Amino acid sequence: MATAMILLPRTVIRAGDVVMLKAMISHPMETGFRRTETGGEIPRNIIRQFSCRYMGELVFSCDFHPAIAANPFLSFPVIAARTGPLEFVWRGDNGFLHREQAMLQVAAS
Amino acid sequence: MTRRAALALALGCLLLGPAPADEIHASQRLSGYDMMGAEAQAMQRDDFANPAMLAVKEGEGLWNAVPGQGRPSCQSCHGNAAASMKGVAARYPAREASTGRVLDLPGQIQTCQSERQGIAPAARESAALLALEAFLAMQSRGAPLASPRARGLDDAVSRGEALYRQRFGQLDLSCAQCHSQNWGRSLGGTRIPQAHPTGYPLFRMEWQAIGSLQRRFRNCMTGIRAEPFPPGAAEWIDLEIYLKERAAGMAMDAPAVRP
């Protein structure tokens, strides 16, 4: 079971503002290069891909590779247009899939 | 340190009488937070950058979750943790009123799981137990660590101090030699802290995971090539009680970040 946290700015957002979104998820990000004490392989188990959609439109995505720390923490900008849903999706090895939703509130100007 | 220097030091301690010469004065106590780099401090201060907060969130879910049909959740007995568990972690390990047993916080959680929820207790160092511990520790953030001596745990404090001063392992070192006599100096690129247990459970960058105080103890034991006590052993709990007496009054900063 993964746990994720989404952080939206706490300030009032107006149309046209560039806002920073932050997303963190609990995940071991096991590289696949490590071995157990008895020499057995520890299979790779990483998140491969992250994407963020704003009102259904893809606004940010990235690929992950083995050299990423556990519990990956991302911070990225989007341009606010109007109040609408944000969807965050992480996909990875062994069919890993985690989804979070949030509402970006944009004040009338 | 040469044997001769160690002997001179030991004699020096004897001559100074009952209070050990290496006891850190209250005004000189520094937490692991005080002694770590600015970047790690910034990571701890920002709840969003601190990965231990993921465990707090998971722990909150477990607090409210019904563990099985007809079984009570933690919440159903204890109510809102922000009120009922405020300051509780700061006075653990504690003596259980009904049985007189001394339990550390994970031990208390396991007891409630097995005896009150009627489920198999979560294993030490498992994600579920660490999450509940982190969630409870969060309710004591900023609270001063309570003195175990003031709660009648004198015997455990003495046993814990004896362990703290005992030399262990192939390197034949005691906890005190590093944490009371050489704190602030560097050991292979790391600064030796004073070993105040204010922040547990915590996210350690070297582990890339959240871990318990006993995991930290185990790391120090294997570091001096000694065989660690088994998880949950009475010796670990005595050591924790002594360290909490030594740190009494310091503010809890759990769930913390450490290098």
**Among this protein's residues, is B220 annotated catalytic?**
yes
In a domain, B44, yes or no: no
Question: Residue B199 and residue B203: Cα distance in Å, rounded?
Answer: 9
CB A32 within 8 A of CB A93: no
- Check whether B14 has a pLDDT greater than 80: no
* Three-class DSSP category at B112: helix
Condensed to tens digits (0 to 9), the pLDDT of residues B115-168 reads: 999 999 999 999 999 999 999 999 999 999 999 999 999 999 999 999 999 999
Interface test with A, best of B62, B208, B210 (most A CBs within 10 A): B208
A28 touches chain B (CB under 8 A): yes
Enumerate the residues of chain A whose CB falls inside 8 A of the CB of residue B57.
3, 5
In a domain, B23, yes or no: no
| Cβ-based contacts under 8 A for chains A and B | 34
- For residue B91, the tally of other CB atoms under 10 A from its CB is 18
Q: How far is B220 from chain A (nearest CA, A)?
A: 19
The per-residue pLDDT for B3 is: 53
For chain A, the average pLDDT equals 94
Query: For B36-60, what is the mean pLDDT?
Result: 95
Q: Indicate yes or no: CB of B54 within 8 angstroms of CB of A25.
A: yes
- B149 plus B223 within the same structural domain: yes
In a domain, B71, yes or no: yes
Enumerate the residues of chain B whose CB falls inside 8 A of the CB of residue A5.
48, 53-54, 57
- Check whether A5 has a pLDDT greater than 90: yes
The per-residue pLDDT for B201 is: 98
* Sequence spans of domains, chain A: 3-32+46-104
Query: For B186-193, what is the mean pLDDT?
Result: 92
A4 touches chain B (CB under 8 A): yes
The per-residue pLDDT for B5 is: 52
- B194 plus B88 within the same structural domain: no
- Check whether B212 has a pLDDT greater than 60: yes
Encoding tokens for residue B31? 């937490």
Type of residue numbered A62: C
- B160 plus B147 within the same structural domain: yes
Q: Indicate yes or no: CB of B51 within 8 angstroms of CB of A1.
A: no
End position of a domain, from candidates B77, B107, B138: B138
Query: For B1-20, what is the mean pLDDT?
Result: 50
Range(s) of the domain holding residue B75: 52-138
Q: Give the range among B9-18, B69-78, B173-182 with minimum mean pLDDT.
A: B9-18
- B128 plus B190 within the same structural domain: no
- B254 plus B147 within the same structural domain: yes
The per-residue pLDDT for A1 is: 65
In a domain, B225, yes or no: yes
CB A22 within 8 A of CB A6: yes
In a domain, B46, yes or no: no
Q: What is the maximal distance between C-alpha atoms in chain A? A: 64
Q: Indicate yes or no: CB of B54 within 8 angstroms of CB of A29.
A: no
Give percent of chain B above pLDDT 70.
93
End position of a domain, from candidates B70, B104, B138: B138
State the complex-level ipTM.
0.76
The total number of structural domains that make up chain B: 2
Q: How confident is the model at residue B222 (pLDDT cuts 50, 70, 90)?
A: very high
A69 touches chain B (CB under 8 A): yes
Condensed to tens digits (0 to 9), the pLDDT of residues A20-51 reads: 999 999 999 999 999 988 889 999 999 999 99
Nearest-CA neighbor of A79 among A101, A102, A106, A61? A106
Task: Tell which wins on pLDDT, B13 or B59.
Answer: B59
For chain B, the average pLDDT equals 93
End position of a domain, from candidates B110, B138, B166: B138
Q: Indicate yes or no: CB of A4 within 8 angstroms of CB of B55.
A: no
The per-residue pLDDT for B15 is: 41
In a domain, B85, yes or no: yes
* Closest Cβ opposite residue A3 in set B49, B57, B208: B57
CB B148 within 8 A of CB B244: yes
The per-residue pLDDT for B8 is: 47
B53 touches chain A (CB under 8 A): yes
Condensed to tens digits (0 to 9), the pLDDT of residues B72-89 reads: 999 999 999 999 999 999
In a domain, B11, yes or no: no
- B122 plus B165 within the same structural domain: no
Interface test with A, best of B43, B44, B46, B48 (most A CBs within 10 A): B48
CATH number at residue B180: 1.10.760.10
Q: Tokens 């994407």 sit at which residue? A: A51
Condensed to tens digits (0 to 9), the pLDDT of residues A49-97 reads: 999 999 999 999 999 999 898 999 999 999 999 999 999 999 999 999 9
Q: Tokens 């985690």 sit at which residue? A: A98
In a domain, B41, yes or no: no
Fold of the domain spanning A3-32+46-104: Immunoglobulin-like (2.60.40)
Enumerate the residues of chain B whose CB falls inside 8 A of the CB of residue A4.
54
DSSP per residue over B171-237, as a string?
TTB-HHHHHTTSTTSEETTEE-------S-SEEETTTTEEE-HHHHHHHHHHHTT-PPPPTT-HHHH
The per-residue pLDDT for B18 is: 54
Q: Give the range among B7-16, B167-176, B213-222, B224-233 with minimum mean pLDDT.
A: B7-16
Enumerate the residues of chain B whose CB falls inside 8 A of the CB of residue A3.
54-55, 57-58, 61
- Check whether B12 has a pLDDT greater than 60: no
Query: For A6-32, what is the mean pLDDT?
Result: 94
CB B41 within 8 A of CB B33: yes
Encoding tokens for residue A54? 């704003």
Q: How far is A26 from chain B (nearest CA, A)?
A: 6
